[in-house]
């Protein structure tokens, strides 16, 4: 049997190569999808080949990931329980690339290294089942009910090189939009995370920094007037925001299975860009658009968190979101300092803001005209009080 495995080079997927061969009698083809991995991808490939894989593919999907996934997430202000979606956002594109290779290679099965307690099993398999229906799915870590400690011990016994040990068994996932760290002592919600688990949000600048982020049709296109490619903008924003400690998140998260888990994230670019995007939307969208879009954004984010990228509703929601973003064009000035990202200015040719109308020192609007609206503003409340509270009427 030939199996195609989504391979990162970490503990679980490295162990899976051996398990697929030993326990499932599979020939293994590994696929590493670059969505902004900071590892040496050549080294990842060499490691896979040393483990005896039949073949290995490395796919550079960074540009596609930013344009088709991150930019959609920006338009939808995508967040779950208060943090920007990052790991969840990358899983669909990784899974789809794995399916493409599986079909190309005429594979009998597709495989992933997700556990039976986490979210990734849902995210991988929702795509696997919708894009490759009928193809066998193998999830060795889940099916063999392995703990992280058991996986580490298995790797040691089989001389599989892994980036973790018993003392620091952290599970780390990275892509252009964020970095997650979990496992080990971090599973205690009262444990203070050691500083050395963080890489992107170490404070390197002590003086405030102000930048201007420009948007067109809801997505960032330039920093301080310098236009750049989508991947470069995200990487630059990670660098700028991260150097001020912006984007570090420590939270209790409700997983798909209903399990509460302690999660640590680093999302500097995501926090900064989403902050700016929301403020620009408030400048150019109507009150009713904003209220309804909050509902749409929330549902969009839930679908992505649950791994349902291929759900038709996601495309339906995108249609509405894209329509609103035609006016989300303009600039936002951001100030970074001491782990804070603040909006200190914004502007757009589509702004629905009138200085004359809002100013207390202008008579463009005759204040006396508000009295007619006031007369009926609380009319139903007045009627309610009259019918239920007789004392008021006396």
CATH number of the domain where residue 68 is located: 3.40.50.620
CA distance 39 to 202: 19
Residues 179 and 161 in one domain: no
Q: Is the pLDDT of residue 366 over 90?
A: no
Percentage of the chain with pLDDT > 90?
Answer: 86
Q: Is the pLDDT of residue 392 over 70?
A: no
CA distance 316 to 308: 13
Catalytic residue from among 62, 72, 91, 346: 91
Residues 233 and 332 in one domain: yes
Any domain includes 352: no
Residues 141 and 264 in one domain: no
Residues 149 and 197 in one domain: no
Residues 234 and 310 in one domain: yes
Any domain includes 114: yes
pLDDT, tens digit (0-9, with 9 covering 90-100), for 284-309: 999 999 999 999 999 999 999 999 99
pLDDT, tens digit (0-9, with 9 covering 90-100), for 70-89: 999 999 999 999 999 999 99
Domain finish residue from 151, 171, 191: 171
Residues 33 and 14 in one domain: yes
Residues 287 and 377 in one domain: no
Percentage of the chain with pLDDT > 70?
Answer: 97
Predicted confidence at residue 394, as pLDDT, reads: 57
| Domain with 235 in it | 174-347
**What's the pLDDT band for 39 if we cut at 50, 70, 90?**
confident
pLDDT, tens digit (0-9, with 9 covering 90-100), for 311-357: 999 999 999 999 999 999 999 999 999 999 999 999 999 999 987 76
Q: What 3-state class would DSSP assign to 201?
A: coil
Any domain includes 261: yes
pLDDT, tens digit (0-9, with 9 covering 90-100), for 45-58: 999 999 999 999 99
Q: Is the pLDDT of residue 393 over 60?
A: no
Residues 194 and 325 in one domain: yes
Residues 346/229, Cβ–Cβ less than 8 Å: no
Domain finish residue from 171, 188, 218: 171
CA distance 212 to 80: 27
Residues 165 and 296 in one domain: no
Any domain includes 357: no
Q: Is 361 annotated as catalytic?
A: no
Q: Which long-range contacts (CB under 8 A, 24 or more apart) does 347-355 make?
A: 347/283, 348/280, 348/283, 348/284, 350/283, 350/284, 351/283, 351/284, 352/283, 352/284, 352/285, 352/286, 353/283
Q: Is the pLDDT of residue 391 over 70?
A: no
Predicted confidence at residue 385, as pLDDT, reads: 85
Residues 40 and 29 in one domain: yes
* Tally of domains within the chain: 3
Any domain includes 34: yes
Domain finish residue from 171, 186, 209: 171
Predicted confidence at residue 23, as pLDDT, reads: 97
Q: Is the pLDDT of residue 390 over 80?
A: no
Predicted confidence at residue 374, as pLDDT, reads: 87
Residues 320 and 191 in one domain: yes
Predicted confidence at residue 376, as pLDDT, reads: 87
Any domain includes 354: no
Dihedral sign from CA coordinates of 27, 33, 34, 36: negative
Residues 164 and 198 in one domain: no
Predicted confidence at residue 384, as pLDDT, reads: 84
Q: Is 123 annotated as catalytic?
A: no
**What's the pLDDT band for 181 if we cut at 50, 70, 90?**
very high
Any domain includes 356: no
Residues 34/21, Cβ–Cβ less than 8 Å: no
**What's the pLDDT band for 360 if we cut at 50, 70, 90?**
confident
CA distance 109 to 25: 12
pLDDT, tens digit (0-9, with 9 covering 90-100), for 232-273: 999 999 999 999 999 999 999 999 999 999 999 999 999 999
What would the mean pLDDT of 2-16 be, rounded to a whole number? Answer: 96
Q: Is 226 annotated as catalytic?
A: no
Q: Is 171 annotated as catalytic?
A: yes
Catalytic residue from among 39, 55, 171, 299: 171
Average pLDDT of the chain, as a whole number: 94
Q: Is the pLDDT of residue 137 over 70?
A: yes
Residue, of 359 and 388, whose pLDDT is higher: 388
Residue 74 to residues 173, 215, 308: CA-CA distances in angstroms? 20, 11, 18
Assign residue 255 the CATH number of its domain.
3.90.1260.10
Catalytic residue from among 12, 34, 173, 297: 12
pTM greater than 0.85 (yes/no) = yes
CA distance 184 to 287: 45
């Amino acid at each position: 049997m030939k199996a195609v495995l989504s391979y990162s080079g970490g503990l679980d997927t490295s162990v899976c190569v051996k398990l697929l061969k030993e326990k499932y009698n599979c020939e293994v083809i590994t696929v590493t999808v670059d969505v902004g991995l900071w590892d040496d991808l050549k080294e990842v490939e060499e490691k896979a080949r040393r483990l005896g894989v039949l073949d290995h593919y490395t796919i550079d999907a960074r540009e596609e990931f930013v344009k088709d996934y991150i930019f959609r997430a920006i338009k939808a202000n995508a967040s779950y329980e208060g943090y920007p979606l990052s790991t969840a956002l990358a899983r669909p594109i990784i899974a789809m690339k794995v399916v493409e290779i599986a079909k190309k290679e005429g594979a009998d099965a597709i495989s992933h290294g997700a556990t039976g307690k986490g979210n990734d099993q849902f995210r991988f398999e929702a795509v696997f089942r919708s894009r490759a229906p009928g193809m066998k799915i193998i999830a060795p870590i889940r099916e063999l009910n392995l703990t992280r400690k058991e996986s580490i011990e298995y790797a040691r016994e089989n001389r599989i090189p892994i980036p973790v040990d018993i003392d620091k068994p952290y599970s780390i996932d990275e892509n252009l939009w964020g970095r997650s760290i979990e496992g080990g002592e971090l599973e205690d919600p009262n444990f203070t995370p050691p500083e050395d688990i963080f890489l992107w949000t170490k404070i390197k600048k002590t003086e405030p920094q102000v930048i201007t982020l420009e948007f067109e049709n809801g997505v960032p296109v330039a920093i301080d007037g310098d236009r750049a490619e989508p991947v470069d903008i995200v990487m630059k924003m990670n660098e700028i925001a991260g150097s001020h400690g912006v984007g570090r998140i420590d939270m209790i998260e409700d997983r798909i299975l209903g399990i509460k888990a302690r999660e640590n994230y680093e999302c500097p670019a995501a926090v900064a860009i989403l902050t700016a995007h929301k403020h620009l939307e408030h400048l150019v969208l109507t009150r009713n658009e904003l209220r309804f879009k909050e509902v749409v954004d929330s549902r969009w984010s839930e679908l992505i968190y649950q791994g349902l990228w291929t759900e038709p509703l996601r495309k339906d929601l995108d249609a509405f979101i894209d329509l609103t973003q035609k006016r989300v064009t303009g600039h936002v000035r951001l100030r970074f300092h001491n782990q804070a990202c603040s909006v200190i200015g914004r502007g757009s040719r589509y702004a629905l803001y009138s200085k004359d109308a809002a100013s207390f020192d202008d008579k463009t609007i005759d204040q006396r005209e508000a009295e007619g609206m006031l007369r009926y503003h609380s009319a139903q409340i007045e009627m309610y009080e009259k019918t239920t509270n007789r004392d008021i009427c006396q």
